[in-house]
Chain A
Amino acid sequence: MLNITNLKANVDGKEILKGLNIDVKPGEVHAIMGPNGSGKSTLSNVLAGRDKYEATAGTITFGGKDLLALEPEDRAREGIFLAFQYPVEIPGVSNLEFLKTSLECLHAYQNKPLLSAVEFLKLAREKCKLVDLHTDFLKRGVNEGFSGGEKKRNEIMQMLMLEPKLCLLDETDSGLDIDALKVVADGINTLRSPDRAFILITHYQRLLDYVQPDFVHVLSDGQIVKSGGSELALELEEKGYSWLESGTEQSANPLKV
């Protein structure tokens, strides 16, 4: 589904990704972990096609297409969804209006029949319930005045509505209390299916207690330095990242608070 080969990418002229390889098949859940500054967010931004994140070498194919040649909106229409680390506010544009516009754009591109207003509203209300957001949220401006946790739940709600093929979650778990974290995890688990893949970008093991990954990759200095099964996440939790960076094992974990 997604194949990244020898990807190098710059941000403001500085090389952040330095030859990254990853292969994601339908149905798989990949967790990408790593210390701050290792390039985790750069990877998600390059995949989604954000300005200023410039791929300088390597290839990314998604569903057989050259992803780097597509505009960000077309990547979304092809089925890539990014749950943002810091969702922005769009004052005055209601969630309902935003979602409807988004869904219409996706369905038009995918030649799916458009939903009627009634069907759409019913669907939106259902999804709100799944992420424990009151349906009043639909009438409020996009992320306008939402708490951090509400913003993240709203991202998951959008993901549930749009039913993407590949879900990228960029540190969606950061700053969440345990209840919100469970809601996010439930959202992901609801969507897990044999034809859908996930890339969970995270700093901590926490989310992975609720969403069992098939693969865990450790990103360090723009490269994947170690890959393994879900047990690797537990090992990281215990040992921290430095043993991978320096190549020597350390027992103290600076990340454990």
Chain B
Amino acid sequence: MSDNTVIDERINSKYEAGFITDVEMQTFDPGLNENVIRKISAKKNEPEFMLEWRLDAYRQWLEMERPAWAQVNYPEIDFDAIAYYSSPKSQEDAPKSLAEVDPELLRTYEKLGIPLHEQEALAGVAVDIVFDSVSIITTFKEKLAESGVIFCSLSEAVIEHPELIKKYLGSVVPVNDNFYAALNCAVFSDGSFVYIPKGVKCPMELSTYFRINEMNTGQFERTLIIADEGSYVSYLEGCTAPSRDENQLHGAVVELVALKGAQIKYSTVQNWYPGDENGKGGIYNFVTKRGICHDDAKVSWTQVETGSAITWKYPSVVLLGDNSVGEFYSVALTRNAQQADTGTKMIHLGRNTRSTIISKGISAGKGSNSYRGLVNISPRAEGARNFTQCDSLLIGDKCSANTFPYIVSKNPSAIVEHEATTSKVSDDQLFLCQQRGIDPEKAVSMIVNGFCKSVFKELPMEFAMEAGKLLEVSLEGSVG
């Protein structure tokens, strides 16, 4: 293969996950009212308490206003033009094993490079697959059950483990937390549920792969992870969607509960369809993610955000317990007309709580990239510490980067550090690479990868490589 073929191929395959899967779908008509919510709940055979919870959320949502403070611009969303439930017909009878799953669906994940057959899977990674509004299959369930770990779709957990759902669902992100979270509570379709028992170190990495496929649908997934006292789990999520000219809404809620001494490591590689070079199409990614730490617990968020037309998300940690630890490592890349307003909130309530924030924003093309973060030290949080580092990297001269750090400290013993830098991929750096025989595109991707290194090293191995490759593809054509 000559050099040129390689380049051509790569230019033509800008968003590799942009294909559409052709399976027969059952999709609700667009529109949102109590009836639609009842239908969603009925589809999932939910117990009465769940339906009531949804309806309550819906009524609160009707009274709420769309948040307007973020540094993003988009036209008013018509919530009645969205279909709130879509599922492949073949999922009607809830397949129990891979053999029963529609082969066309399996091929979708093969194309995306997600291993589903347990014997072929990456050693030590269990996967839950969410396709539009439903979970298709969860691998390694039996093996995990041996150590008492519950890993299943949220719909299944609502039926099988109602006591855990009643206790924890909405306990970290309250129903009325914000506009999009309330909407999610009303119409959430599927997502993953994880419970790690006391003292158990989860024997495998757990992961969920979210795929939006159907047109004009919104995906409102919801994930709940409970790590009981002294347990540990590492969880990964990945996301892709077809390339379409219409914008699609993705409004997820993720709640993490780390009980005394537990540790949760949550990693995201977000690669939703970003829209074309003129800003047409792409996913609106409006997501609420929050973890709560009890005494001596730790929640660590790592995110690599390269996709979506708009990203609005602030994975946060409530440091409720004494000596608890919150971490946030983020790489957000915007190019073309992508907009990202992302960051974190570290709420220090307990004594000697510590938090670390490392944020790397990369803007190319006409991309707009904002870091927005809150470090809040309550009067009780004796000895709290925070370290924040926000670095922005600009490629070209039409992009922008903003940093909005908010610091509220109500305890005089707290130590809060904030460092920020903005740099450009300089002509001198590019020329040094070229003079050593490296072409400019490869050079930019190498420089950007170097810039992100301190975040990438927080990702599990396979994901770190994936993230590096993703950046390379996303940056194509951003030089010159």
Contact = CB atoms under 8 A, between A and B. Distances in A.
A92 B450 contact: yes
A159 to B, nearest CB: 10
B436 to A, nearest CB: 4
A96 interface: no
Interface string A82-98: 10100110111100011
Given A50-B431, A51-B427, A88-B428, A93 B446 contact: yes
Interface string B277-298: 0000000000000000000000
A209 B454 CA distance: 45
Contact of B449 (A93, A102, A109): A93
A104 B452 CA distance: 23
Which of the listed residues B428, B432, B442, B454 has the most CB atoms from chain A within 10 Å of its own CB?
B432
Interface stretch (A71-79, A126-134, A213-221): A71-79
Contacts of A84: 432, 435
Nearest to B454: A92
A48 interface: yes
Given A72-B431, A84-B432, A92 B437 contact: no
B436 A76 contact: yes
Q: Quick one: which of A48, A49, A105, A109 has the most chain B CB within 10 A?
A: A105
Interface in B413-471: 426-429, 431-440, 442, 446-447, 449-454
Interface in A54-73: 71-73
A90 B436 CA distance: 13
B432 A73 contact: no
B450 A101 contact: no
A249 to B, nearest CB: 39
Contact of B432 (A51, A87, A91): A87
A76 B450 contact: no
Contacts of A29: none
Question: Looking at chain B's contact residues, is the secondary structure mostly helix, strand, loop, or mixed?
Answer: helix
Most chain-A Cβ atoms within 10 A of its Cβ — which of B426, B431, B451? B431
A97 B440 CA distance: 16
Nearest to B360: A92
A230 interface: no
A102 B438 contact: yes
A167 interface: no
B434 A92 contact: no
A90 B454 contact: no
Contacts of B433: 73, 90, 98, 102
B450 A73 contact: no
A101 B432 contact: no
Given A73-B439, A101-B442, A105-B439, A91 B450 contact: yes
B435 A76 contact: yes
A141 interface: yes
A192 to B, nearest CB: 21
A158 interface: yes
A223 B453 CA distance: 47
A82 B435 CA distance: 7
B450 A102 contact: no
Contact of A158 (B3, B436, B438): B436
A84 B429 CA distance: 12
A185 interface: no
Contacts of B429: 88, 90
Interface in A86-127: 87-88, 90-93, 97-98, 101-102, 105-106, 108-109
Contacts of A97: 446
Interface in A177-208: none
A162 interface: yes
A82 B431 CA distance: 11
Nearest to B451: A92
Nearest to A143: B432
Contacts of A49: 434
Given A88-B428, A92-B453, A101 B446 contact: yes
B391 to A, nearest CB: 10
Contacts of A72: 431, 434-435
**B437, B439, B450, B453, most chain A CB atoms within 10 A:** B437
A98 B439 contact: no
Nearest to B447: A90
A87 B431 CA distance: 11
Contacts of B451: 91-92
Contacts of B432: 84, 87-88, 90, 142
A103 to B, nearest CB: 8
B280 to A, nearest CB: 33
Contact of B446 (A48, A98, A108): A98
Contacts of A105: 436-439, 442
A11 to B, nearest CB: 14
Nearest to A84: B432
B426 A48 contact: no
B426 A88 contact: yes
A92 B435 CA distance: 19
A72 B446 CA distance: 18
Contacts of A101: 438, 442, 446
Nearest to B423: A91
Interface in A4-25: none
Contacts of A141: 450
A97 B446 CA distance: 9
Nearest to A168: B435
Contacts of B437: 73, 76-77, 102, 105-106, 109, 162
B436 A102 contact: yes
A124 B435 CA distance: 19
A49 B453 CA distance: 30
Contacts of A81: 435
A76 B451 CA distance: 25
B447 A71 contact: no
B449 A98 contact: no
Nearest to B436: A102
Nearest to A52: B427
Contacts of B442: 101, 105
Given A90-B447, A91-B451, A92-B449, A76 B426 contact: no
Instruction: Return the 6 tightest CB-CB contacts between A and B, nearest first.
Output: A92-B450, A93-B450, A102-B436, A76-B437, A72-B434, A105-B437
5 contacts: A51-B427, A72-B431, A73-B434, A76-B437, A88-B432
Given A71-B439, A73-B434, A108-B3, 17 more contacts: A51-B427, A72-B431, A72-B435, A73-B435, A73-B437, A76-B435, A88-B429, A90-B432, A90-B433, A97-B446, A98-B436, A101-B438, A101-B446, A102-B436, A102-B438, A105-B442, A106-B437
